[in-house]
Structure 1
Amino acid sequence: MKKWVIRVAIGAVFLVGAFFVAVSLASTRERPLPSILPGYHRATLEVGHRADPIDLHLWYPAQQGGSGELLAQNALFYGHHILRDAPAQSGSWPVVVVSHGSGGNAPALGWLISDLVRSGMIVVATDHPGTRSRDSDPFQTIKVWERPADMSALLDHLAANPPMGVTPDMTRVAALGFSLGGHSVLSLAGLRVSKSMFIDYCEANAGKIDCGWMQSAGVDFATIDQARYEQSNRDPRIKAVVAVDPALPQAVPDAGTADISTRTLIINLGQPGDVPAAMRADALADRIDGAQYQSIENAWHFSFLAECSALGRVAIGLAGDDNICADLEGRPRSDIHRELRSVIGAFLAETLL
């Protein structure tokens, strides 16, 4: 074997080793500890509509003390600090039920959730089976009725068996969701969709961001359970909804918004003309009585994800697919998150506090 081949091989081994050392080091970096930390409790919950239990993630105003713990921190993404199983603060608190996007998970939204808790709210969420991190199945993703059922089950449990001594005020309940989670919370508010309109949209937009991966996996949209797909999932406990880049706006028929009576805020990441049709929702907001609509400039769909580490920006950028760590026009994701926390926090505070 020629010497240059050996040198290249040794160099490659060195680079791979250096990469994994960097991963290990990066995963240990922490940001400054906030002055007020949310309490956090995790459990499992048996629900009637699923064969297996679902996760229950609960963040709540907690008595301060003890050392903070990082949640959802890894080599690629920053996490947030929590006080695991800390005693709850006394008082009755409004509730926000949260739904993550397809392929995501609830703790990864801690950059926003922890801020809501600091403002005086209880936040409850789950990792929706079949559409979560490391369990994202296109054949399950089309079952859009399961996610609202998960969220209603969380609220049932919180009302009947509140853990960690928290006192939820079930007369003040809001829902917050991103992407497929944005559709899920609108569904909780009474939004309904059409199977035929979804199929027509996917035929006209084959291969694009929302339909493409399901089509490439061989999902036959004709097999969707029409009755369940088009049913109402309205939960009357929901008093306000925040939907960020909600999925399926093109599948909403004329009568699909008629049952929505909650206060509604719809946010698109980017200017409407630049937002893909799969989540462009300005026209949908116009059809919901009293809905507010806001676009976030110089942002895109993945700006809602947690902030990436330097390693994350490099590693994911080299992966060749959508660089979910990149942001537009050089605007830092921390700045986008600051704006989103302000907009969402003000809306929920006005509604719930």
Structure 2
Amino acid sequence: MRKLLYAVGGLVLVVALFFVFVILSSTKPFDPPLAVPGYRQARLDVAHRDVPLPLHIWYPATEGTPELIGQNALFYGHHVRPDAPLPLSAPVVLLSHGSGGNAVQLGWLAAHLANRGYLVIGTNHPGTTSRDSLPERTVMIWERPADLTAMLNWLQGGGLAGFAPNGDVTTLGFSLGGHSALAMAGLKVSKSRFIDYCDRNAGLVDCGWLTAGGVDFAAIDASKYEADLSDPRVTRTIALDPALPQAATRESLSELAPAVLIVNLGQPDTIPPAMRADALAEAIPQAQYTSIDGAAHFSALPRCSLFGNVMIGLAGDDNICSDRGLRPRDQIHSEVLSAIDAILPAQ
């Protein structure tokens, strides 16, 4: 009986210590910065999806009480002014998150651009977003640009009452969202080039995850995969660690019309082929390319808590919170924003 009591007592102590660790190591509230953007949410029914698109919209604002969004035990969030008055007009940035991510995770970027005078609109792409990320949907790369086009149509059609786009449209994306942004500018990919790439990189990064998920590469709809998904309204494109650089066709790269900035997180020789984009940038006329020292792919995500580092590391999956051997994410984000500011002037 005494041994049982000791065992139960030990278990209670371990549980208590765990909860103390969670409390002490999780994210903490912090004061809002001097500039805080407006923020709204909406839903958009689209013909190519069987579910509505959840819209997240950041824009310039000075009125309203700042609130913290996107923060949980793992990730730090950012401040916004919910439902603040809209500007009458502004340039538009169409924002696309990475595979398995979501729009609010890129709030550090969206808020910065909104404070510089842009209206930033993003969605959680169904089938490739947080808690709804499926390998068989990930290879349906034509769905995401269609989302972005539908969002732009909605804005130009008066969907956000009281606001009118001024005609300046930037596509901006991270990882698979980076590919989506480039596809809107006219980049095309080849199914055979993608399959050849995965044959050479079996079990690694994107190809390994897709294969483990049961994706039959041969069954990909080539007519949709290789389609022209460009939108002539796009005037500028920014891609952070864009996916599928190995599948891009040289012909489409040479014909990209909008101004293009490609940012890689890390130096080219340290970046996996799935995201290494220096050669991609070289093939695009007048494209700008920059790489960020001391960074890695997941440096584009929000800053993590100690709890996030420990718990995600123990989960055995990609440790999206680990910055071991890297510079702090705040520094990396600042450099990314400086590169973007150079081609997106303040309004």
Cα 1:2/1:207, change in 2 over 3 Å: farther
Contact 2:281/2:289, CA 8 A, preserved across alignment = yes
Alignment partner of 1:235 out of 231, 238, 243: 231
Cα 1:64/1:6, change in 2 over 3 Å: same
CA distance in 1, matches of 2:55, 2:190: 30
2:276 aligns with 280
Alignment partner of 1:133 out of 130, 133, 136: 130
Unaligned runs of 5+ in 2: none
Alignment of 1:185-200 (within 5 A): 185-200=181-196
1:224 aligns with 220
Shift of 1:31: 1.5
**Identity, % of aligned pairs?**
54
Cα 1:202/1:16, change in 2 over 3 Å: farther
Contact 2:296/2:326, CA 8 A, preserved across alignment = no
Deviation readout 1:104-153 (Å, 9 max, x if unpaired) = 00011111110111111000010000000000000100000000000000
Alignment partner of 1:98 out of 95, 98, 122: 95
Cα 1:232/1:291, change in 2 over 3 Å: same
Q: Secondary structure, in 3 states, of the residue corresponding to 1:285?
A: helix
Contact 1:182/1:245, CA 8 A, preserved across alignment = yes
CA RMSD of aligned residues (A): 1.9
Q: How many pairs were matched up? A: 347
Q: Which moved more, 1:257-266 or 1:185-194?
A: 257-266
Q: Secondary structure, in 3 states, of the residue corresponding to 2:343?
A: helix
Contact 2:27/2:75, CA 8 A, preserved across alignment = no
Shift of 1:212: 0.6
1:77 aligns with 75
Contact 1:85/1:164, CA 8 A, preserved across alignment = no
Unaligned runs of 5+ in 1: none
Shift of 1:92: 2.2
Contact 2:27/2:74, CA 8 A, preserved across alignment = no
Shift of 1:84: 1.0
1:334 aligns with 330
Matched, 1:256 2:220: no
CA distance in 2, matches of 1:36, 1:69: 12
CA distance in 2, matches of 1:53, 1:249: 30
What is the TM-score with the length of structure 1 in the denominator? 0.93
Q: Secondary structure, in 3 states, of the residue corresponding to 2:121?
A: strand
Q: Secondary structure, in 3 states, of the residue corresponding to 1:298?
A: coil
CA distance in 2, matches of 1:300, 1:155: 31
Alignment partner of 2:112 out of 115, 129, 139: 115
Cα 1:61/1:203, change in 2 over 3 Å: same
